[in-house]
Amino acid sequence: MMSNWFNFFIISSVHSSTFCLVTLLQVLVLLCVLISTSHAQSHAKTGPCDVTIDDVNNLTLNCSRRDIDKIPNWPEQVNNISNKDGHVLITFFSNDIRNVTQLQSVPGTRVAISFKSNRIVEIEDDAFRNIERLVYLDLSNNLISGEVLRSEIFQGTYSDGVYKSIALETLNLGHNEIHSLDRYLFQYTPNLTRLYLNNNPIEILDHVTIFALSSATNLEVLDLSNTEIDNVPTDAFKGLVNLRQIDLSGNQFVTVPESLSIVGKTLQYLTFNDNPLVELNDDSFVGLANLLELEVGENNYLEEVKRSTFSPLKSLRVLHLCHNRNLRYISHNAFRGLKDKWTLKEVYLDENNLSELSTDLMPWNKLDVLGMTGNNWLCNCDLANIVTKQEAGTKFKVGEIPYCAAPMRLSGAYVTNITVSYCPSFDSPFTQQNLRSKGFSFSDLRPKHILWSILGVASVVVIGMLCGLLVNTTKAIYRKKVRSEPIRYIHISNSSFA
């Protein structure tokens, strides 16, 4: 058919200009190029893995999105690389692999392998025994169950009657079907420092899972987010003497687990987002004196932060208290005992339901960064004090200056621009002279002042009415029952003595 079209165009071109013939030939050449390119792309999708050598120290074997269902042999370039001590990355991202079989040896002192987003349901024993320098393994987004995970998977070479360990440092098991871990799972991974178990239906940290976790004594990072747990047993972190970071977001905790105090000496980063807790109080962070960064956000039921909540956090430098849509109150003593030895440098209070903050909540001028956007700020004297005198207005990031929500005449204005005419000088007492000099009028009263005044007057009236009613009732009872009746006189005849 292509030949017929070509002859048609040749015959027609006899009666046309040379320019038309050249144009036609260019079109035909372009069609051939597109067909060849399409064929080449189809071949690349199902062809061998690509090898990229960035420099003598870095090699990448890219087997991603190739529709492969089993692990292929390594290309010759892998075994022929000149530098045997370099870093190697092998990725099988987004394929149809169901069974991880034993991998061939890979040169390099640090090897990373990713099986993310496949259909893995089985991993053979000794799967990684030929890659003793495997330091990073990503098995996330698969169909792996707890029964599939066993210590034999990670055992190294067999020598002198024992299996050696492998160098694994990071293991990502997120987004699988894991309910529990084998108690000896980490027997051959003594260097494991980062473990990701997020988005698994664990629900309960049973005794075998706890034993497995506590055996990973070098663990520094642990992700248990979105695992549906609501409790962490006291001994769950007992062996984790090096734990620095933990994520407990997206679970069912109604309080911050007390068991965190077991790792309080080493824990520096805690993420506690999206849990159904209602309040934070003086028991929430007990024992976490070395915590550097705390994130408590997206907790839709959190309403208040009470007195001394953050008092145990004597080393805290960064606080994220954001996106708690019902958080309306933070006690002015939330940082009680910390103000004289202040360590916080960054405080983020964005996207809550706050309207007011106490002027003595914290030493605002000692912060480096302050976030307050997305709240319903009442631009009153207290906020003016915080923003101006205490210099909080200089801590906002560019483009992240909060707005006033009330009173109506200031709605939409930047809090850094507020000027409240009736506010007294921050260094002088609030006297009648101040009021006269500021031009005070009833229209300047805050709504809550008016409300309290009305309630006070109403209370006095009601109490007076109750007292009057009580007096009248007492009088009526006295007249009816207590008052003495008149004396009745009887005539005594002499016959009565006869």
Q: How far apart are CA 106 and CA 104, in angstroms?
A: 6
- Whether the Cβ atoms of residue 319 and residue 348 lie closer than 8 Å to each other: yes
- Whether the Cβ atoms of residue 166 and residue 153 lie closer than 8 Å to each other: no
Q: Which residue has 């990355």 as its token pair? A: 89
What six digits make up the tokens of 54? Answer: 């960035």
- The reported pLDDT for the residue numbered 497 is 43
Beta bridge partners of 318: 293, 346
Contacts for 113 with CB less than 8 Å, ≥ 6 apart: 89, 90, 91, 92, 103, 131, 134, 136, 137, 138
Q: How far apart are CA 339 and CA 203, in angstroms?
A: 40
- The reported pLDDT for the residue numbered 78 is 80
State pLDDT tens for residues 101-121: 999 998 889 999 999 999 999
- Whether the Cβ atoms of residue 275 and residue 254 lie closer than 8 Å to each other: yes
Q: What is the pTM of this model?
A: 0.77
Q: How far apart are CA 358 and CA 346, in angstroms?
A: 18
Q: Over its length of 498 residues, how does the chain's per-residue pLDDT go in tens digits?
A: 434 333 433 334 433 443 333 343 443 444 443 344 343 333 334 457 999 988 767 899 999 999 999 999 998 878 776 666 789 999 999 999 999 999 999 888 999 999 999 999 999 999 999 998 999 999 999 999 999 999 999 999 998 889 999 999 999 999 999 999 999 999 999 999 999 999 999 999 999 999 999 999 999 999 999 999 999 999 999 999 999 999 999 999 999 999 999 999 999 999 999 999 999 999 999 999 999 999 999 999 999 999 999 999 999 999 999 999 999 999 999 999 999 999 999 999 999 999 999 999 999 999 999 999 999 999 999 999 999 999 999 999 999 999 999 999 899 999 999 875 657 555 544 444 443 444 444 544 556 667 777 887 788 878 888 887 887 887 777 666 655 555 554 554 544 444
Q: How far apart are CA 240 and CA 335, in angstroms?
A: 29
CB atoms near residue 149 (< 10 Å): 21
Q: Using alpha carbons only, how large is the chain's radius of gyration in Å?
A: 38
Which CATH code of 3.30.530.20, 3.80.10.10, 3.30.1490.20, 3.30.565.10 fits the domain covering 39-226?
3.80.10.10
What does the angle CA 103 – CA 106 – CA 108 come to, to the nearest 5 degrees? 150
Q: In what order do the strands lie in the sheet with 279-280?
A: 279-280, 304-305, 329-330
Beta bridge partners of 320: 295, 348
Any idea where the domains of the chain sit in the sequence? 39-226
Q: How far apart are CA 356 and CA 380, in angstroms?
A: 8
- The reported pLDDT for the residue numbered 14 is 38
Sign of CA dihedral 482, 484, 485, 491: positive
Q: How far apart are CA 414 and CA 372, in angstroms?
A: 11
3-state secondary structure the chain: CHHHHHHHHHHHHHCCCHHHHHHHHHHHHHHHHHHHHHHHHHHHHHCCCEEEEEECCEEEEECCCCCCCCCCCCCHHHHCCCCCCCEEEEECCCCCCCEECCCCCCCCCEEEEECCCCCCCEECCCCCCCCCCEEEEECCCCCCECCCCCHHHHCCCEECCEECCCCCCEEECCCCECCCCCCCCCCCCCCCCEEECCCCCCCCCCHHHHHHHHHCCCCCEEECCCCCCCCCCCCCCCCCCCCCEEECCCCCCCCCCHHHHHHCCCCCEEECCCCCCCEECCCCCCCCCCCCEEECCCCCCCCEECCCCCCCCCCCCEEECCCCCCCCEECCCCCCCCHHHCCCCEEECCCCCCCCCCCCCCCHHHCCEEECCCCCEECCHHHHHHHHHCCHHHCCCCCCCCEEEECHHHCCCEHHHCCCCCCCCCCCCCCHHHHHHCCCCHHHCCHHHHHHHHHHHHHHHHHHHHHHHHHHHHHHHHHHHHCCCCCCCCCCCHHHHC
What six digits make up the tokens of 258? Answer: 């007390």
Beta bridge partners of 89: 60, 112
**Cα 2 to chain center, whole Å?**
61
- The reported pLDDT for the residue numbered 233 is 95
- Whether the Cβ atoms of residue 97 and residue 63 lie closer than 8 Å to each other: no
Q: Rounded to 5 degrees, what are φ and ψ at 68?
A: -90, 145
CB atoms near residue 198 (< 10 Å): 20
Q: How far apart are CA 259 and CA 234, in angstroms?
A: 5
Q: How far apart are CA 435 and CA 414, in angstroms?
A: 26
Q: Which residue has 């990973």 as its token pair? A: 216
